[in-house]
Structure 1
């Protein structure tokens, strides 16, 4: 249950140094240098499907980006979030 609440009510703040997560139960910060990939993942359950964004870290573990999920196959706002995340990440790699 806390996973669902955090996903829906949590927020991610993008900074030049990294990404800061703020949720109802937890806060954390991850530097861009620790992120090896930003993925759009597709999930299916009995009669539903959804997509979310995941940050894959250097240690191999991934982390869902709060507030970045959709149940629509073609969601322009969701795609804009993915593009913005990747833009910040690529800018930090320069």
Structure 2
């Protein structure tokens, strides 16, 4: 989708044989407007962290903080994604109310990174969720 938007934005420049200073500035502004948010989003996701606490998950990125109590989580899954940088995996948490949340810092490139370490992290998240929800169920009965 990003490439389609860039392509549409570059159409006026494709037919122009000379790139005057004004056209170059417009081209630079267009590329900056599209590329910088994409780069920031990726860095924000990679540098973010997910802390597991007895109460739930604390998601921290460069610009946001969020808490998700264990009881609000309905499903935890690994989602495979792909893009120009190649395939990667992320951990998605489904919550009772709202859209699924991709956990910051919990991602793995499928280009030679340690898949066993990623899987250990996923298993730890599942284990903490199951223990916390089991304790809440046993306390309620």
TM-score under structure 2 normalisation?
0.62
TM-score by length of 1: 0.90
Instruction: Find the partner of 1:78 among 104, 113, 118.
Output: 118
Which consecutive aligned stretches of 4+ in structure 1 deviate over 4 angstroms post-superposition?
A: none
In structure 1, the residue corresponding to 2:102 is in which secondary structure? strand
> 2:62 aligns to what SS in structure 1?
coil
Alignment of structure 1 residues 12-27 onto 2, 5 Å: 12-27=50-65
The structure with more strand, counted as a fraction of residues: 1
CA contact (8 A) 2:80 2:88 kept: yes
Q: Judging changes above 3 Å, is the alpha-carbon distance between structure 1 residues 3 and 47 closer, same or farther for their aligned structure 2 residues?
A: closer
Q: Is contact 2:73–2:96 with CA below 8 Å preserved after alignment?
A: yes
Q: Name 1:49's counterpart in structure 2.
A: 87
Structure 1 counterpart of 2:101 = 63
C-alpha separation in 1, matches of 2:130 and 2:54 = 10
1:91 maps onto 2:131 in alignment: yes
Q: Name whichever structure is richer in helix by fraction.
A: 2
**Do the aligned partners of residues 5 and 47 (structure 1) sit closer, same or farther apart at CA in structure 2, a change above 3 Å counting?**
closer
Per chain length, whose mean CA-contact separation is higher, i.e. which structure has more relative contact order (CA < 8 Å, sep 6+)?
A: 1
Give the conservation status (yes or no) of the 8 Å contact 2:58–2:66: yes
